[in-house]
Structure 1
């Protein structure tokens, strides 16, 4: 389920774009301003709105760290802002002063791309704030841009319908007509795609256009094959031009917004439509998923930005699959392993596990020997604790195979609850896990990231009784098999 939880109506003209950082939401508009909101309660930050552009602001984006916000405008400039105080860091002028339609940071924040109405594209060095490379497309305006997750290339989309792949030195690697009537937006999935020719690496990209279509593509960077753009499939559902598309942070969902005033959330794995949202009263111009938390923002020519919240049971860890509330431990990403470590009070090990690329599958295969010799965890007590927790995980994997109801699992630890308690957000958690969460001065819900109105935890005796009955049933089943 997806529900509308907040509407922002501060802009006085069409909303053109919205973007999330880990703590803020930025929106920009034809009214020449950029507005910033806290994700804690969606209140506007004290230094918002940001004013400096003299004409409409078409696009805005955060640097990966969230410390810098970029915005671009019809006035021919791309501006950089300090997100801590709203101060202007730089004003980057597009060559020939053409209106700038799109801007994007590279994944390492080293570069910023700006694309303009005259087809010019500039790669800016963010550290020196100087022009690093420039180029142009043959025809049309540049209206879309996206970096690959590894930063080795980026794709631009033009009003003539071309998708062009560039490397990080602004060399054109590939060009293809993607949408007959013009591209409007494109975005990369953060997850690499396996398969294909030996030695190849694939990234999935989505593009949308004036032809009412959303297309999925696979881009290969294999040295032997060069750069290849392969059409994968088309996602249907909109009855008018599609103006925006964006992947969820785990790459399992894609959201799109259209001239038909609707927002569609697609399941990438099956191609099916998960949700259709129709609350905007005019064209939907922009949409974006928040990182780490189950929120979606959509903006429209009706001058509003809607904030949508996913049911965490359907969205946990970013999953959009209706029948898969939480990815199995074997399929955990490295980031999900880090979250699990923190929940177990093992935050000091996050760096070591990330350095060694420990994902869910690797986590379950760790032994005392590998903890000592491969991960170099010197403390005997720390090694024993993490190994004990891994053993509990392995036991949990076995239990999950028997079909534990999802409501019996703690949302924080994803383990069967022994002492379930109800928090102020209405969700039930393992008592120790929630107390540990609160003790670290976290005053927000683990499920919604919204502020907890109270820190009181109430024993959920009904749930505990249900869990005990289920355990008794499982024990009897095991005894007879």
Structure 2
């Protein structure tokens, strides 16, 4: 059972990361702030929000004691805060000045890692707040990091898809191509697993990526052997890129969040899906378990943070390992899935009617104005129009997750297929509503470059709109999508 016990809506922009200490929950956002809440009643601490970054905050993490918090940002800095009073203890500038995407404390609090968009990785001495060692991944941006339980090794993930094992001397011990389209997050369970073949003690690591997959690995850290990474299995419950993953404190559960707006919780040993959570309305960008309890926090581009209380595991959705799984696009929805979709879209009063007519996902996508009128007997013209509009949006999203959508057809802000693309003064094309919302929030900078927009004029991109329409027609004719 997963119970939603609190929803936090204090951020004014996308939530990028969540982190727990034994007594607090921290969240950070594109709104440039870090917020800290007490776990006693989830009230915000008096000194919160923390304001020190000049651009979006991408990641935050507590030290093992919980007395300090690190946050990193597009501004190229990692800030260390005192969680007892909110004081800024240090500002650690990335030597290259590149935007910092991820930061992590080592388990024994000796080191703090910061990884940047140019692939640079810095190992900071926490006691002196000075750079101890630095290095670079061979390609791509550094976007993910996790420490071994002993603290002598750490793993980084890059946008080119590589996982790299480092020791505390910044020596590269192992490099593995893990996700073809790029790694987005990784986490290491703190509980070892026995491996009979090597008579050694391995740990489990999870990585997730733009390829819609979560991969589970056995990872060995040993001073005399270096690092070893062995593939275990792939979890494929998501139907879109997976942006976040985290192990529970006891290593028995793995949570993940995705562009498909779902949070999925797996049983680690079997790959069984325990829970599928659908309360977020935009991409799920963050998930984190509390260190000593079954509390889970999830963050999203919907600006909300949900806090969940989990109880004992009860597998409910079958095995999610790759060879046995089925991607849950709208075409595969059950009648209960359709009911949940109706409630989320404000049509709760129609649930009984749709269930009485056995409307599953396939039937939903095939509904027309005539069938709503003649078969379901929905008399209100306005209501029929609203339903058809939401179904049309669902059809487009079904296309987006069923086939590889050309990247130029996706809005850079929402990462969804554009319906009404416009060109902004920075030369990039955006979904009209998304860029208008961006500008209306008094942001005159480009979402892509962070540079000031010389003009707020938006020009319809008719050529791109026609190209998207032709592409959708092609997918229909090829039989790769639901018929429109």
After TM superposition, give the deviation of residue 293 of structure 1 in Å.
Answer: 2.2
Q: Which runs of 4+ in 1 moved over 6 A?
A: none
Is contact 1:120–1:134 with CA below 8 Å preserved after alignment?
A: yes
Q: In the alignment, is the contact (CA less than 8 A) between 2:265 and 2:274 conserved in 1?
A: yes
Q: Give the RMSD, CA atoms, in angstroms.
A: 1.3
Q: How far apart, CA to CA, are the structure 1 residues paired with 2:280 and 2:198?
A: 46
Where 1:239 maps in the other structure, the secondary structure is: coil
Tell me the CA shift for residue 292 of structure 1. 1.8
Structure-1 residue corresponding to 2:64: 64
Q: Where does residue 43 of structure 2 map in the other structure?
A: 43
Aligned to 2:89: 89
Could you tell me how far 1:21 is from its partner in structure 2?
0.4
CA distance, structure 2, for counterparts of residue 203 and residue 293 of structure 1: 20
Aligned-pair distance for 1:235? 1.1
For 2:22 and 2:194, how far apart are their aligned partners in 1? 28
What is aligned with 1:31? Answer: 31
Instruction: Kindly indicate whether the alpha-carbon contact (under 8 Å) linking 1:166 and 1:172 is maintained by their aligned counterparts in 2.
Output: yes
Shift of 1:76: 0.2
Contact map agreement 2:144 2:157 (CA 8 A) in 1? yes
Checking the alignment, whether the CA contact within 8 Å between 2:187 and 2:207 is kept in structure 1 is yes
1:130 aligned to 2:118? no
Q: Following the alignment from structure 1 to structure 2, what is the Cα–Cα distance between the partners of residues 227 and 51?
A: 39
Match in the other structure for 1:14 = 14
**Separation (CA, whole Å) in 2 of partners of 1:181 and 1:5:** 35
1:179 and 1:209 in contact (8 A); partners too: yes
Alpha carbons of structure 1 residues 132 and 224: separation in structure 2 relative to 1, 3 Å:
closer
Q: Distance in 2 between matches of 1:68 and 1:226?
A: 30
The answer to whether the 8 Å contact 1:73/1:99 transfers is: yes
Asked whether 1:210 is paired with 2:210, we answer: yes
Contact 2:142 / 2:156 at 8 angstroms: preserved in 1?
A: yes
Whole-Å Cα distance in 2 between the matches of residues 65 and 223 of structure 1? 26
**Would you say the 8 A contact 1:201–1:222 is kept in 2?**
no
Deviation at 1:196, TM superposition (A): 3.6
Kindly indicate whether the alpha-carbon contact (under 8 Å) linking 2:213 and 2:242 is maintained by their aligned counterparts in 1: yes
Q: Cα–Cα, structure 1 residues 223 and 82, in superposed 2: closer, same or farther, change >3 Å?
A: closer
Q: Quick one: distance in 1 between partners of 2:221 and 2:19?
A: 28
Structure 1 residues 198 and 94: alpha-carbon distance in aligned structure 2, compared to 1, 3 A threshold: same
Q: Deviations over 1:317-360 (max 9, x none)?
A: xxx3569xxxxxxxxxxxxxxxxxxxxxxxxxxxxxxxxxxxxx
Corresponding residue SS for 2:200: coil
Q: Secondary structure at the match of 2:146?
A: strand
Counterpart residue number, 2:101: 101
User: Could you tell me which residue of structure 2 aligns to residue 146 of structure 1?
Assistant: 146
Q: How far did 1:203 drift?
A: 1.3
For residues 292-441 of structure 1, what are the structure 2 equivalents within 5 Å?
Answer: 292-311=292-311, 314=312, 320=313
Cα displacement (A) at 1:252: 0.4
Cα distance, 1:96 vs. partner? 1.6
Q: For each residue in 1:286-314, what CA deviation from the matched residue of structure 2 results, as whole angstroms up to 9, or x when unmatched?
A: 00111222211000000000011123xx1
Question: 1:103 and 1:235 mapped to 2: Cα distance?
Answer: 26
Task: Find the residue that maps to 2:96 and give its secondary structure.
Answer: helix
Alignment partner, residue 257 of structure 2: 257
Question: 1:55: which partner in 2?
Answer: 55
Contact 2:248–2:294 (8 Å) recurs in 1: no
Aligned residues: 316
Q: 1:224 to 1:20 in 2, by over 3 A?
A: closer
1:347 maps to none
Q: How far did 1:198 drift?
A: 4.3
CA offset digits 1:228-278 (Å, max 9, x no partner): 110000112100000000000000000000000000000012110000000
How do residues 174-193 of structure 1 correspond to structure 2 at under 5 angstroms? 174-193=174-193
Can you give the 5+ residue segments of structure 1 that lack an aligned partner in the other structure?
A: 315-319, 324-481
For 2:251 and 2:17, locate their aligned partners in 1 and report how far apart those are by CA, in whole Å.
21
Are the equivalent residues in 1 in contact too, given 2:249–2:293 (CA < 8 A)? no
SS of the counterpart of 1:114? Answer: strand
Deviation at 1:199, TM superposition (A): 5.0
> Is the counterpart of residue 229 in structure 1 residue 229 in structure 2?
yes
Q: Check whether the contact 1:185–1:243 (CA below 8 A) recurs between aligned residues.
A: yes
CA contact (8 A) 2:96 2:120 kept: no
Task: Provide the residue aligned with 1:173 in structure 2.
Answer: 173
Q: Partner residue of 2:267?
A: 267
TM-score between both structures, scaled by the size of structure 1? 0.64
CA contact (8 A) 2:153 2:221 kept: no
TM normalised by structure 2 equals: 0.64
Distance 1:304 1:229, change over 3 A: same
Partner-residue secondary structure (3-state), 1:227: strand
**Matched-pair contact (CA < 8 Å) for 2:272–2:315:** no
Are the equivalent residues in 2 in contact too, given 1:200–1:222 (CA < 8 A)?
no
Retained in 2: the 8 A contact 1:199–1:222?
Answer: no
Cα distance in structure 2, aligned partners of 1:155 and 1:254:
18
